[in-house]
């Protein structure tokens, strides 16, 4: 109640009225004060960033979740569970090993998120133990019982009948025992050096051997050539697909390997080692020779994880941990086979097509279906392909025709992951043998493909091709091909640029864009890129192509800044970007600043994302989603509204420091209203996905989307399959 401005008589009356009010309501009446201004953290504040390794682990957890999704066929659910295992192996071999190396060499460095390596390792251990336990629970309690209902059985020892026991004994005697080499542990037989991720058994023995030794322990390494699951003949196991684990056979007959000794226990284990190659390119004269040496050492790097069957007694666990210099937090006790990835062999059972995805045929654009000359088609217009929905065949056909065409003079191509025996390589070999000038830029250091790429290089060199190993200090990750053809007396350039690798197998499993073009400016730019990679000289100015480590990052920051400036003027501004990972701190800060000024930002990030969306005053205009489905999302697409003059780029690069600063990458424009609208619509399909998308929260959690209200279920991948492919009639 206020008396300000009342006449004197009314003031006296009001004061008298107040005096008569009960004491309990005579409380001070405060004038409302405006809310304090929002405290917006500095864009360098560590709380605004997510640790990259923890974010990568979250992606692996999203993959594991697919194993519980009953909308997938049963064997595909098993496949997701096994992909989780494979991903986790690499995560420990590279990510965890890298963090441990920082600690061991006293070089701990906190990233933008502020976490020190030892803090990150503690959190990783907690999450990984929790998820590995879930994984085995899903396998044992959900997937294996469901498979058994379809007569796909893994018969455990306790369920072996007399006939099966006899068959296992014969199989063990004939196929396993002659190959296995048990190693007794004593002063003259120290603990063996075990290969990375190999299956091994620690055996507890009782008794004295022929030489009077009684150490009580032995190791049985299981040779990699032995299958980890063995199919039982129908006349033994009955109808259906019946399997026995190799580990079960070895457990059952370990006594046979130690004649006269008593086996008190036999327990499987598996060691994961640091598998990151370390080649000092500055001190290496021959990179190929150095890599061959390092490939051997990869098998015996420092230990980073120990998986042991959960029945193993504590004293043996402690013994193994001591042998490998590992801590308790690096021990994983599992309720099943320690090498689950070997189960991939049964995920494509021909006897059970109904438990797998329905097959389909990728389409070939009509322009190419009725043409025998791919050059004549590309010369008239750009052709954009989205794999695996559209076939990878036109890319291979471009090379095949170039290899045979008498008018083709030269072929230049980058190869990152292609395999030594692919159709792409066959065509390059044929072209070289036909007298074409073939130059291949092969990235030998493509992780886990080094050995294949060394074989690829040797094969091409034997055919007469010129093989280049890229640039010292910079991985060549760009995906580009250039064909030079003489037409009417002039040399015409035909180019292929892609977001993915020249690997026909991956093109059936990964989503990637391919652009086939005869655009003069783009062809000249690709030629300049090859000149920079193969020869030496200053950075060449490009007309259309953006390339790392020179112009790509700067141009991305400029385009983000332009949208920011437009938003600050009150104009519409929008950025859509789709890629595998977002970790570059400069890019993230630019996106935060854009969000603060009102730019709408939609990100589709499959894996690592260090940006936190939805923070008031910072990232409230940013949404991040991850799509996990039948195909591995691999396209890199960047869209900028650009004041109505929309810009769309496709790229080989993620928004990571390693891609933008330390690799050779390409980023190329999509031109023409029709193609721009097509890519934009395909991006919008991912943004509207409400069945296979996971939305990142400000606290780092991902929540799975689901239809709400009257929404229809929408899946980007299913929609593209329906629109772009031809379903095959199944033999079900």
> Hey, is 516 helix, strand or coil?
strand
- Is the distance from CB of 219 to CB of 202 less than 8 angstroms? yes
CATH fit for domain 361-543, picks 1.10.10.10, 3.30.870.10, 3.40.470.10, 3.30.70.3040:
3.30.870.10
Cα R_g (the chain), whole angstroms: 31
> Hey, is 260 helix, strand or coil?
coil
DSSP string, 567-579: HHTT---EEEEEE
| 138-141 contacts, C-beta under 8 A, 24 or more apart | 138/64, 138/67, 138/68, 138/81, 139/81, 139/336, 139/340, 140/335, 140/336
Exposed, middle or buried: residue 599 (CB in 10 Å: 0-12, 13-18, 19+)? buried
For the ranges 492-506, 587-601, 609-623, the lowest mean pLDDT is seen at 492-506
Q: What is the predicted pLDDT for the residue at 444?
A: 74
Q: Higher model confidence: residue 540 or residue 240?
A: 240
- Is the distance from CB of 245 to CB of 229 less than 8 angstroms? yes
Measuring CA to CA, which residue among 520, 522, 470, 514 is closest to residue 496?
Answer: 514
Q: Tens digit of pLDDT for each residue in 525-534?
A: 999 999 999 8
CATH, domain range 547-727:
3.30.870.10
Q: Tens digit of pLDDT for each residue in 455-472?
A: 888 899 999 999 988 787
pLDDT category, 8, cuts 50, 70, 90? very low
What are the distances in angstroms from CA 490 to CA 338, 379, 443, 476?
A: 62, 14, 32, 30
Is residue 110 predicted with pLDDT exceeding 90? no
For the ranges 259-263, 339-343, 624-628, the lowest mean pLDDT is seen at 259-263
Catalytic residues, which ones?
477
Rounded-to-integer distance, Cα 612 and Cα 699, Å = 7
For the ranges 161-170, 587-596, 599-608, 722-731, the lowest mean pLDDT is seen at 722-731
Q: To which H or E segment does residue 718 belong?
A: helix 716-724
Exposed, middle or buried: residue 341 (CB in 10 Å: 0-12, 13-18, 19+)? middle
Rounded-to-integer distance, Cα 138 and Cα 606, Å = 23
Is residue 490 predicted with pLDDT exceeding 90? yes
pLDDT category, 728, cuts 50, 70, 90? low
Q: To which H or E segment does residue 490 belong?
A: strand 490-498
> Hey, is 643 helix, strand or coil?
helix
What is the number of other CB atoms lying within 10 angstroms of the CB of residue 358? Answer: 13
Q: What is the predicted pLDDT for the residue at 462?
A: 93
Rounded-to-integer distance, Cα 539 and Cα 9, Å = 88
pLDDT category, 20, cuts 50, 70, 90? very low
Q: Tens digit of pLDDT for each residue in 203-222?
A: 999 877 665 666 689 999 99
Is residue 35 predicted with pLDDT exceeding 90? no
What is the number of other CB atoms lying within 10 angstroms of the CB of residue 8? Answer: 7
pTM of the predicted protein model = 0.89
Q: State the average pLDDT over residues 135-151.
A: 98
What are the distances in angstroms from CA 218 to CA 202, 262, 315?
A: 6, 12, 14
Q: Do domains 48-355 and 361-543 have the same CATH topology?
A: no
Check whether domain 48-355 has CATH 3.40.50.1360, yes or no? no
Q: Tens digit of pLDDT for each residue in 616-661?
A: 999 999 999 999 999 999 999 999 999 999 999 999 999 999 999 9
The number of residues making up the chain comes to 732
Q: Higher model confidence: residue 357 or residue 451?
A: 357
DSSP string, 655-695: BSHHHHHSEEEEEEE--SHHHHHHHHHHHHHHHT--SSEEE
Go through 130-146 and write b for each residue having 16 or more CB atoms within 10 A of its CB, e for each that does not: ebbebbbebbeebbbee
Query: Do β-strands 637-640 and 574-579 pair in parallel, antiparallel, or remain unpaired?
Result: antiparallel
Sequence-ordered list of residues with C-beta below 8 angstroms from that of 207, at least 6 positions apart, any chain: 214, 260, 261, 262
Query: Do β-strands 152-154 and 241-245 pair in parallel, antiparallel, or remain unpaired?
Result: parallel
Query: Do β-strands 600-605 and 574-579 pair in parallel, antiparallel, or remain unpaired?
Result: parallel
Rounded-to-integer distance, Cα 676 and Cα 163, Å = 65
Q: Tens digit of pLDDT for each residue in 686-709?
A: 999 999 999 999 999 999 999 998
Is residue 31 predicted with pLDDT exceeding 60? no
Domain ranges for the chain: 48-355, 361-543, 547-727
């Amino acid at each position: 109640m206020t008396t300000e401005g009342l006449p004197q008589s009314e003031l006296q009356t009001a004061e008298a009225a107040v005096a008569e009010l009960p004491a309990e309501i005579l409380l001070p009446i405060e004038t409302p004060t405006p809310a304090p201004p929002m405290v917006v953290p500095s864009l360098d504040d560590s709380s605004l960033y997510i640790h990259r390794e923890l974010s990568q682990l979250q992606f692996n957890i999203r993959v594991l979740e697919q194993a519980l999704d009953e909308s997938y066929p049963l064997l595909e659910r098993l496949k997701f569970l096994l992909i989780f295992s494979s991903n986790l192996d690499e995560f420990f071999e590279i990510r965890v090993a890298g963090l441990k190396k920082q600690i061991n060499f006293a070089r701990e460095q906190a990233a933008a998120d502020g976490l020190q390596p030892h803090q990150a390792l503690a959190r990783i251990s907690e999450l990984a133990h929790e998820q590995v336990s879930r994984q085995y629970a899903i396998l044992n309690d959900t997937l294996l019982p469901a498979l058994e209902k379809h007569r796909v059985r893994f018969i455990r020892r306790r369920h072996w009948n007399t006939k099966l026991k006899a068959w296992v004994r014969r199989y063990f005697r004939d196929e396993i025992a002659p190959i296995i080499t048990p190693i007794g542990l004593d002063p003259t037989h120290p603990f063996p050096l075990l290969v990375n991720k190999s299956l091994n058994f620690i055996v507890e023995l009782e008794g004295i051997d022929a030489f009077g030794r009684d150490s009580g322990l032995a190791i049985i390494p299981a040779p990699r050539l032995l299958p980890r699951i063995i199919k039982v003949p129908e006349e033994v196991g009955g109808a259906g697909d019946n399997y026995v684990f190799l580990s079960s056979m070895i457990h059952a007959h370990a006594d046979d390997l130690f004649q006269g000794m008593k086996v008190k226990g036999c327990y499987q284990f598996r060691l994961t080692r640091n598998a990151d190659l370390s080649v000092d390119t500055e001190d290496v004269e021959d990179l190929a020779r150095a890599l061959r040496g390092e490939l051997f050492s990869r098998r015996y790097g420092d230990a980073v994880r120990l998986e042991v069957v959960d029945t193993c007694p504590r004293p043996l666990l402690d013994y193994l941990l001591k042998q490998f210099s590992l801590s308790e937090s690096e021990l994983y006790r599992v309720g099943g086979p320690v090498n689950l990835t070997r189960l991939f062999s049964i995920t494509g059972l021909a006897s059970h097509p109904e438990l797998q995805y329905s097959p389909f045929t990728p389409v070939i654009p009509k322009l190419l279906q009725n043409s025998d000359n791919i050059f004549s088609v590309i010369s008239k217009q750009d052709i954009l392909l989205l794999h695996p929905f559209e076939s990878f065949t036109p890319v291979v056909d471009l090379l095949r025709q170039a290899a045979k065409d008498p008018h083709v003079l030269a072929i230049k191509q980058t190869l990152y992951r292609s395999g030594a025996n692919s159709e792409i390589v066959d065509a390059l070999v044929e072209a070289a043998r036909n007298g074409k000038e073939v130059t291949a830029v092969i990235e030998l250091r493509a992780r886990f493909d080094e050995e294949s790429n060394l074989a690829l290089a040797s094969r091409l060199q034997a055919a007469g091709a010129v093989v280049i190993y890229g640039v010292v200090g910079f991985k060549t990750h760009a995906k580009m091909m250039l064909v030079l053809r003489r037409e009417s007396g002039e040399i015409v350039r035909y180019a292929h640029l892609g977001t993915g690798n020249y690997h026909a197998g991956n093109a059936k499993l990964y989503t990637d864009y391919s652009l086939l073009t005869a655009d003069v400016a783009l062809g000249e730019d690709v030629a300049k890129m090859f000149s920079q990679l193969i020869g030496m000289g200053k950075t060449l100015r490009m007309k259309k192509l953006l390339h790392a480590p020179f112009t790509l990052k700067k141009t991305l920051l400029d385009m983000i800044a332009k949208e920011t400036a437009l938003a600050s003027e009150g104009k519409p501004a929008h950025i859509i970007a789709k890629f595998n990972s977002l970790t570059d701190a400069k890019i993230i800060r630019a996106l935060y600043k854009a969000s603060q000024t009102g730019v709408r930002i939609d990100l589709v990030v499959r894996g690592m994302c260090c940006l936190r969306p939805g923070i008031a005053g910072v990232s409230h205009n940013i949404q991040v989603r991850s799509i996990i489905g039948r195909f591995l999302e691999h396209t890199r697409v960047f869209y900028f509204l650009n004041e109505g003059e929309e810009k769309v780029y496709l790229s080989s690069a993620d928004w990571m420091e390693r891609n933008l600063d330390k690799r050779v990458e390409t980023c190329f424009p999509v031109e023409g209203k029709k193609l721009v609208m097509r890519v934009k619509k395909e991006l919008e399909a991912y943004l509207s996905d409400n069945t296979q998308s996971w939305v990142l929260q400000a606290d780092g959690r991902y929540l799975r989307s689901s239809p709400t209200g009257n929404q229809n279920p929408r899946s980007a991948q299913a929609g593209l399959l329906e629109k772009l492919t031809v379903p095959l009639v199944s033999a079900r």
